[in-house]
Amino acid sequence: MDYILHVIIIIASTLCNALGINLVFGKGKIFHFGSVAVSIAATYPMYLVVEATGSYMYGITAGLVGALLLSLFIALLALRLAPDGLGVLTIALHLTLLSVVATWISVTHGAGGITNVPRMFGLESIESFAVVSCVIAVVWFIIIFLIDRSPYGRKLEALAEQEWYASALGIRRATIYIVAFSLAAVGALLSNLISEQYFRLVHPSNFQYVFFIFYIAIIVAGKPGSVIGVTISTIALTILRESLRFLPLPITALGPLRLLLFGLILLIAVWWRRDTLFPVKRSV
């Protein structure tokens, strides 16, 4: 039973971030490869403040400020750079932040990470943690679903497909991008609020590049831009990832096999969706 609850918590955590990334990368077709960098910007300020003050209210505020500031910066870059340049720059941003948290030991605790992360009041048992995580994920799903179906969602899609025509019709690219990136930042915050608190640990290894690959595999496999598709693929791929631990393999082989599996899934998913991932612009 505990294992099922564990998987539910991981799915809830992953879904919050995946839905945000889907809005930017999947629906907006914006080459934002720095989603894990946003997670770093949300997680470290949040838990460092929690460690210093013991208050989650201050911690969440700090995490939100960190994530929003970085997201705003990336949104401004997205407005200025060519898509491939943005992709490389956001990867560089991610690796830079990762080297900062690994090297700035006096503040971030370096490779040791932040240990003994306290849980919020009432979340000590795994049952209560699973219920609260599910409630957060479901509420976030409903919010993103409604946004996706709203005029805002259509504007984001219009910008992705026909940027010039959309702009000519009065859709402001800057506003749409800033909102999309801000929503993705909130998703990253919620995701890390659940996962790091659940594991009681903030560690640089939780922000490696492979986590970004996992999210991209989820979005490409689930159909980029589709809230329901990405939700289903999050559930399926998280169960697949978590069930790999039952294979009779040495622990050192488990990590590389996960990489191999998700690399293959991503490659097959890109091939399968090669005509719709970055659709050729429709002509009249």
Partner 1 sequence: MQLLINALIGGSFAALLAGGLTLVYGVLRVFNISHGQLALVGGYTTWWLHQVAHVPLVPSILGGVLTAAFVTWICFEVAIAPFYRRHPFLPLVSTIAFSIILDAFFPLLFGESTKSIVNSSGGTMAIGDALITYHQLILIAFTLVLLACTGLILFATPFGRRVRASVQQPEAARSLGIASGRLHRIVFISSGVLAGLAGIYMGIDQNISPAFSFPLTIRAYAAVIAGGKDNLWGTVLAAYIISLLEQMAVGLPWWFGSYIPAGYQGSVALVVVMVVLLFLPNGLFTPRSRTA
Residues lying near partner 1 in the complex (CB under 8 A) are found at 31, 77, 80-85, 87-89, 91-93, 95-96, 99-100, 102-103, 209-210, 213, 216-217, 220, 252-253, 255-260, 262-264, 266-267, 270-271, 274-275, 277-278, 280
b vs e for 264-274, b when ≥16 Cβ sit within 10 Å of the residue's Cβ? Answer: ebbeebeeebe
Provide the minimum distance between the beta carbon of 176 and partner 1 in the complex, in angstroms, as a whole number. Answer: 20
Of 223, 256, 221, which is closest to residue 238 (Cα–Cα)? 221
Provide the minimum distance between the beta carbon of 204 and partner 1 in the complex, in angstroms, as a whole number. Answer: 12
Measured CA to CA, the distance from residue 257 to residue 227 in angstroms comes to 28
Of 64, 39, 32, which is closest to residue 49 (Cα–Cα)? 64
Provide the minimum distance between the beta carbon of 43 and partner 1 in the complex, in angstroms, as a whole number. Answer: 19
* CA atoms in the 13 A half-sphere facing the CB of 201: 10
Provide the minimum distance between the beta carbon of 260 and partner 1 in the complex, in angstroms, as a whole number. Answer: 4
Provide the minimum distance between the beta carbon of 265 and partner 1 in the complex, in angstroms, as a whole number. Answer: 8
Closest CB to partner 1 among residues 85, 112: 85
Provide the minimum distance between the beta carbon of 88 and partner 1 in the complex, in angstroms, as a whole number. Answer: 5
Of 51, 15, 73, 62, which is closest to residue 233 (Cα–Cα)? 15
Of 4, 3, 21, 27, which is closest to residue 234 (Cα–Cα)? 21
Closest CB to partner 1 among residues 176, 216: 216
Closest CB to partner 1 among residues 118, 163: 163
At position 6, the amino acid (one-letter code) is: H
Closest CB to partner 1 among residues 197, 238: 238
Closest CB to partner 1 among residues 77, 227: 77
Closest CB to partner 1 among residues 96, 150: 96
b vs e for 212-231, b when ≥16 Cβ sit within 10 Å of the residue's Cβ? Answer: bbbbbbbbbbbbbbbbebbb
Q: Which two tokens stand for residue 194?
A: 């659940």
At position 272, the amino acid (one-letter code) is: W
Of 1, 14, 35, which is closest to residue 198 (Cα–Cα)? 14
Provide the minimum distance between the beta carbon of 264 and partner 1 in the complex, in angstroms, as a whole number. Answer: 6
Chain-centroid distance, C-alpha 177: 16
Provide the minimum distance between the beta carbon of 99 and partner 1 in the complex, in angstroms, as a whole number. Answer: 5
Closest CB to partner 1 among residues 23, 216: 216
Closest CB to partner 1 among residues 3, 209: 209
Q: Which two tokens stand for residue 11?
A: 């799915």
Q: Indicate the DSSP class of residue 119.
A: P
Phi-psi region of 53 (alpha: psi -120 to 50; beta: other; left: phi over 0): alpha
